Structure 1
Amino acid sequence: MREALIVWGGWAGHEPEQCAAVVADLLQEAGFKTYLENTTEAFADPSIAELSLIVPIFTMSKIEKEELDNLTRAVQGGAGLAGFHGGMADAFREAVEYQFMVGGQWVAHPGNIIDYTVEITKPEDPIMQGLPSSFAYRSEQYYMHVDPSNEVLATTRFTGDHASWIDGTVMPVVWKRRHGAGRVFYSALGHVAAEFTHPEMREILRRGMLWAARD
């Protein structure tokens, strides 16, 4: 049986505990044994190197050097890393090695909760197959600093209504990448637990976690 570790905490506005419970249900339905922890100390356990998947849901906060070193070694060794929104890409802002592994970092969400469109750019990818070519979404539209080596699966376009200087900017929303032997998946969708009721958001994350998980 594949095993997954979900580590939740940080800023309460992202409802990390509630989101962790939803993610655990998704993985258990897919046959995983799941472990939930609410401290970054979990990343320091050497046994995480043997896991199939690690899911951080930990907006902002800090991570100790030994915790980060052990986490990055685990992923480089083949453990999968997958996550969403600020729980993965706005975690540990001072930890550039973590950002290097994730492939991006949140920097703004102009207009806060707004309506926008997500465009699937690689419909042939197994994570995206059969989904609509585009879909409407209401949440924070993440403006991010992103790694050009990411394999981008979906994007969004900013209108400039809330920051005129980014009008027309196309921003990655979903990507996958490698970090050493490990697979890394990220989706910017999922501000709070209620967004898991959005069918495309939920399915993209579910498929992405399964893709990232080591067999």
Structure 2
Amino acid sequence: MTDTQQTAPAKSALVVRGGWDGHQPVEATEMFLPFLTANGYEVRVEESPAVYADDSYLPTVDLIVQLNTMSSIEAAEFTGLRAAIEAGTGFAGWHGGIADSYRNNSDYLQMVGGQFASHPGKRPSERTGEQSDNYVPHMIEMTDAAATHPITRGISDFELVTEQYWVLHDDYNDVLATTTQAVREWDPWNRPITSPAIWTRNWGAGRIFVSTPGHRVEILQNPNVKTIIERGLLWASR
């Protein structure tokens, strides 16, 4: 290498994980660290959103991967996160780690574009008090936009048996896949409800990617889910 040649700087990824252990925040995020490294990212892992308040570090990050369920976020932390995204940092995650993270902050919910409301489960007489009470068979159905989008291109509708997220959302999302809650005799609603299952969202100069499938490691190992998340991480990145 000559004096004028320099190697390209590595991209920077920040993984923020924590919250409810049922979503396996450590095991689940560890699955994707080799993928990020193989794609040229230097990866930093933090166990809380406190790092979002570091206004000298966060603007240098190209991609934030978050799996932090049912937690809270301080005002300075959210301010730092939002500023970084609006300036071009990508923000990506799956399931409750991004769509049920900070219920105490409505501005976060607006930025992400969807909030977990419920995951209707099995017939009450079949429930045992375990997570599996909420595992139901359901379809992840690709939208027309999915056929040409780099995250979902080549992926057809597929079935999962896991939590099916009912999501409160708005129409600013670019929805790549949906899932429809059935009407069952023990539920209080009387018509099917369709929620976004995979979506993207632009916020300032930043890109946001959300996949509601991803409850635990065994779902993340599903080839369709894994591929969608890996592509989503790269799509969202600066």
TM range (shorter): over 0.9
1:128 lines up with 2:152 in the alignment: yes
Aligned partner of 1:117 in structure 2 is: 139
Give the residue type in structure 1 aligned to 2:22: G
Give the residue type in structure 2 aligned to 1:139: T
> Could you say which structure has the larger radius of gyration?
2
Tell me, yes or no, if the aligned pair for 1:158 and 1:166 is still in contact at 8 Å: no
Aligned partner of 1:33 in structure 2 is: 42
Aligned partner of 1:53 in structure 2 is: 63
Q: Find runs of 4+ consecutive structure 1 residues off by over 4 angstroms.
A: none
Q: Please state how far the C-alpha of 1:107 moved relative to its aligned partner.
A: 0.6
Q: Please state how far the C-alpha of 1:164 moved relative to its aligned partner.
A: 4.8
Q: Please state how far the C-alpha of 1:52 moved relative to its aligned partner.
A: 0.7
Aligned partner of 1:163 in structure 2 is: 187
Q: Please state how far the C-alpha of 1:163 moved relative to its aligned partner.
A: 2.4
Task: Please give the alpha-carbon distance, in whole angstroms, between the structure 2 residues aligned to 1:39 and 1:76.
Answer: 21
Q: Please state how far the C-alpha of 1:166 moved relative to its aligned partner.
A: 5.4
Pair 166,198 (structure 1): closer, same or farther in 2 beyond 3 Å: farther
Aligned partner of 1:198 in structure 2 is: 222
Task: Please give the alpha-carbon distance, in whole angstroms, between the structure 1 residues aligned to 2:229 and 2:84.
Answer: 21
Q: Deviations over 1:115-170 (max 9, x none)?
A: 110111021111111112x1111110000101210000000111112525153222
TM-score scaled to structure 1, two decimals? Answer: 0.95
Task: Please give the alpha-carbon distance, in whole angstroms, between the structure 1 residues aligned to 2:190 and 2:115.
Answer: 17
TM-score scaled to structure 2, two decimals? Answer: 0.86
Q: Please state how far the C-alpha of 1:25 moved relative to its aligned partner.
A: 2.2
Q: Deviations over 1:99-124 (max 9, x none)?
A: 11111100100001111101110211
Task: Please give the alpha-carbon distance, in whole angstroms, between the structure 2 residues aligned to 1:7 and 1:14.
Answer: 14
**2:215 counterpart SS class:** coil
Q: Please state how far the C-alpha of 1:30 moved relative to its aligned partner.
A: 2.0
CA root-mean-square deviation? 1.2
Q: Please state how far the C-alpha of 1:26 moved relative to its aligned partner.
A: 2.3
Task: Please give the alpha-carbon distance, in whole angstroms, between the structure 2 residues aligned to 1:34 and 1:71.
Answer: 17
Q: Please state how far the C-alpha of 1:31 moved relative to its aligned partner.
A: 2.1
User: Which of 15, 20, 25 lines up with 1:11 in the alignment?
Assistant: 20
Task: Please give the alpha-carbon distance, in whole angstroms, between the structure 2 residues aligned to 1:124 and 1:94.
Answer: 36
Give the residue type in structure 2 aligned to 1:37: E
Gaps of 5+ in 2: 1-9, 122-133
Pair 166,156 (structure 1): closer, same or farther in 2 beyond 3 Å: farther
Tell me, yes or no, if the aligned pair for 1:20 and 1:36 is still in contact at 8 Å: no
What is the percent sequence identity of the aligned residues? 38
Gaps of 5+ in 1: none
Tell me, yes or no, if the aligned pair for 1:117 and 1:156 is still in contact at 8 Å: yes
**1:116 counterpart SS class:** strand
Task: Please give the alpha-carbon distance, in whole angstroms, between the structure 1 residues aligned to 2:237 and 2:219.
Answer: 23
Give the residue type in structure 2 aligned to 1:192: R
Tell me, yes or no, if the aligned pair for 1:115 and 1:136 is still in contact at 8 Å: yes
1:102 lines up with 2:108 in the alignment: no
Tell me, yes or no, if the aligned pair for 1:196 and 1:202 is still in contact at 8 Å: yes
Aligned partner of 2:128 in structure 1 is: none
Task: Please give the alpha-carbon distance, in whole angstroms, between the structure 2 residues aligned to 1:166 and 1:57.
Answer: 33
Equivalences, count = 213
